[in-house]
Structure formats: structure tokens, C-alpha cells
């Protein structure tokens, strides 16, 4: 699994979203999203932009930050999203 795919899985888990929810938000099937999250298909800029928007982070942060730094950035956003 590549680094971006790992970040996507961890963000989804942090937010408490099932794959079906994220896939629905993106307008794709759960199977198609699963392949993206597992690194089996390439992530286009459009897909990265959609996911960054869903998780309320910038696309640059999604790409550039380390996994621990990204999760630290996302934690306050998950609190607001789940309130």
C-alpha cells in the first residue's frame, strides 16, 4: 500500500466513515473506492481534490504531510464533523 492510500484509509477510519459513504460522496462504487484506498488504482488530481474536500483539508496537506502530522491536523476537524 502506498503512502497516500494509507493516509486515505486512516482519515476515513478517524472520521468513522465506512467505505460505502466515501464512495457515495465521490459518486463511485465501494469496490472502486476500495481499489483507490488500497493503492490498486492511481489517484487523479480530481479524486485527491474530492477527498481533501471531504476531510476538510487541503490537497497539499494530504499529499505532503506525514501520516502523524496529517492525523494531528484532522483530529479537530473530526470533532466538529461528529458533533
pTM listed for this prediction: 0.88
The pLDDT tens digits for 5-63 are 999 999 999 999 999 999 999 999 999 999 999 999 999 999 999 999 999 999 999 99
The pLDDT tens digits for 71-82 are 999 998 777 666
Residues in the chain: 83
Domain positions in the chain are 3-81
Q: Are 38 and 59 in contact (CB under 8 A)?
A: no
CATH class, domain 3-81, is: mainly alpha
- Alpha-carbon Rg for the chain in angstroms: 12
Instruction: Kindly list the distances between the CA atom of residue 58 and the CA atoms of 15, 30, 43, in Å, as whole numbers in the listed order.
Output: 16, 24, 16
Amino acid at each position: 500500500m502506498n503512502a497516500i492510500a494509507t493516509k486515505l484509509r486512516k482519515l476515513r477510519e478517524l472520521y468513522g466513515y465506512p467505505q460505502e459513504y466515501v464512495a457515495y460522496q465521490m459518486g463511485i462504487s465501494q469496490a472502486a473506492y476500495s481499489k483507490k484506498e488500497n493503492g490498486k488504482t492511481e489517484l487523479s488530481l480530481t479524486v485527491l481534490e474530492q477527498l481533501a474536500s471531504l476531510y476538510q483539508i487541503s490537497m497539499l496537506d494530504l499529499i505532503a504531510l506525514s501520516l502523524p502530522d496529517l492525523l494531528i491536523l484532522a483530529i479537530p476537524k473530526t470533532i466538529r464533523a461528529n458533533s
